[in-house]
């Protein structure tokens, strides 16, 4: 089966409220969508979220690389099985130029292809674990997963609100901080739950998005340790990871922006830069590459979670659920914010997390989603 058409879209959906962290503040999406149509009419959708402060990509540069580098590699391929499609992307290398790794461009195309060919061959994208020889747990063996709640900087909430989230079903929480190191929001949260944090009935993580400096990092780690914070995520800017090795064994440090490529992960493991990886499907170049990094981490006893990019639509939310179904040992799970953050989502199926915050498996062909093209046209510009 061959591809008959590939379309590229720039998507901008307003947020219900702006989301701020140490290196960025956003009030709308800025996503790269790919639509693949096969000769039999099967349609697949993919999404990437280019962010300059993460991979170095912009919406414009990732579009150019998608158009000129990635699409020419696949447009004349003839896949005779879903396995053929998976193996094609398994063998496709990352594209890096001038220090920028174009992973969101790669992700957008890969997800669209897996979705389209999965629908044609009646295969769920969750089945890529079998092709990649990743032991996928049986349904009865797959432990329950819940979404994690992430608080923006200055996202002040009351004690009643915190308890409401707990009743809603959340057990894991993450706060964004910046160089001001204001612990009051964290302290208010801890006071809302008394001893539940210490007993690990709930967990708390803190994300600095590379905003701290080396001079006061030890003090920050000590302050968070006193508060029973599970880990500190991305304390320093990418490129300063070697400084983190001195804290190995004393404090739990999670790497995010520092782990974009497979090479980044290999180096971090070799040098002992961190204890946990925050994997993100767009940042890491698609489902397949993200799974590779997860397997590498597991082999070297490094923990990992699945994070998300701010402003993901139901397309990437569905991909995240596929990832969760393949990886039973995932530590935390973020994503599926959907219409909790977006004014509208573009998938016909509701991918927004609901009551109990459970990560529900997807079993339909492809990504188990379809796009409402009326909503798409409302918020997207077709650029190719």
pTM of the model: 0.95
Which CATH number characterizes residue 253's domain? 3.20.20.120
Q: Report pLDDT for 135.
A: 63
- CATH assignment at residue 41: 3.30.390.10
DSSP string, 289-318: HHHHHHHHHHHTT-EEEE---TT--HHHHH
Torsion of CA 133, 139, 144, 150, to 10 degrees: 50
Residue 322 lies in a domain: yes
| Main-chain dihedrals φ then ψ at residue 84, nearest 5 degrees | -55, -40
Which residue range is the domain that position 83 belongs to? 3-123+373-382
Rounded CA gap, 184 and 34, in Å? 43
User: Could you give the CA distance from residue 237 to residue 62 in angstroms, rounded to a whole number?
Assistant: 22
Do residue 59 and residue 203 come from a single domain? no
Closest CA to 227 of 251, 254, 255, 256: 251
- Within a domain: 106: yes
* Cα separation, 229 vs 221, whole angstroms: 9
Instruction: Answer yes or no: is 368 within a domain.
Output: no
In a domain, residue 364? The reply is no
Q: What is the pLDDT of residue 140?
A: 46
The reply to whether 204 and 317 lie within a common domain is yes
**50 and 145 assigned to the same domain:** no
207 and 250 part of one domain: yes
Within-domain flag for 367: no
Q: How many domains does the structure of the chain reveal?
A: 2
In a domain, 226, yes or no: yes
194/56 same-domain check: no
Instruction: Clarify whether residues 163 and 279 are in a common domain.
Output: yes
365 falls within a domain: no
Is the domain of 107 the same as that of 201? Answer: no
Please list the rounded mean pLDDT of every run of 10 residues in the chain (384 residues). 98 91 86 98 98 95 98 97 97 94 98 98 94 65 81 84 90 91 87 79 94 93 94 96 89 96 95 94 98 95 96 98 93 95 97 92 95 97 94
Residue 384's nearest CA partner among 1, 36, 2, 28 is: 36
Bridge partners (DSSP) of residue 207 are 176, 233
Write down the pLDDT at residue 375: 97
Q: CA 223: distance to chain centroid? A: 28
The verdict on residue 298 lying in a domain is yes
Residues 198 and 335 in one domain: yes
């Amino acid at each position: 089966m061959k591809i008959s058409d590939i379309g590229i879209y720039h998507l901008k959906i307003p947020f219900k409220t702006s989301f701020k962290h140490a290196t960025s503040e956003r009030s709308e999406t800025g996503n790269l969508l790919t639509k693949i149509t096969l000769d039999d009419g099967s349609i697949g959708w993919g999404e990437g979220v280019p962010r300059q402060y993460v991979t170095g990509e912009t919406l414009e540069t990732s579009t150019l690389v998608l158009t000129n580098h990635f699409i020419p590699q696949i447009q004349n391929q003839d896949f005779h099985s879903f396995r053929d499609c998976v193996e094609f992307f398994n063998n496709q290398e990352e594209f890096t130029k001038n220090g920028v790794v174009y992973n969101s461009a790669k992700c957008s195309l890969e997800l669209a292809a897996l979705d389209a060919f999965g629908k044609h061959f009646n295969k769920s994208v969750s089945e890529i674990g079998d092709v990649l020889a990743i032991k996928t747990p049986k349904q009865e063996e797959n432990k329950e997963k819940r979404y994690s709640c992430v608080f923006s900087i200055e996202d002040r909430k009351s004690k009643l609100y915190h308890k409401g989230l707990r009743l809603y079903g959340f057990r894991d929480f993450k706060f964004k901080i910046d160089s001001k190191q204001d612990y009051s929001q964290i302290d208010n949260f801890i006071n809302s739950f008394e001893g539940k944090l210490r007993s690990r009935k709930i967990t708390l993580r803190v994300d600095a998005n590379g905003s701290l400096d080396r001079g006061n990092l030890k003090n920050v780690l000590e302050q968070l340790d006193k508060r029973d914070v599970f880990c500190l995520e991305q304390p320093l800017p990418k490129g300063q990871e070697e400084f983190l090795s001195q804290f190995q064994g004393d404090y739990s440090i999670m790497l995010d922006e520092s782990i974009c490529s497979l090479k980044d992960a290999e180096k971090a493991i070799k040098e002992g830069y961190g204890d946990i990886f925050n994997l993100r499907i767009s940042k890491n170049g698609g489902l397949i590459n993200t799974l590779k990094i997860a397997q590498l981490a597991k082999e070297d006893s490094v923990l990992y979670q699945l994070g998300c990019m701010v402003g993901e639509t139901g397309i990437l939310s569905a991909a995240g659920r596929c990832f969760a179904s393949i990886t039973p040992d995932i530590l935390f799970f973020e994503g599926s914010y959907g219409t909790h953050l977006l004014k509208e989502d573009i998938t016909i199926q509701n991918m927004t997390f609901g009551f109990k915050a459970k990560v529900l498996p997807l079993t339909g062909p492809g990504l188990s989603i379809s796009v409402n093209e009326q909503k798409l046209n409302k918020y997207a510009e077709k650029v190719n």
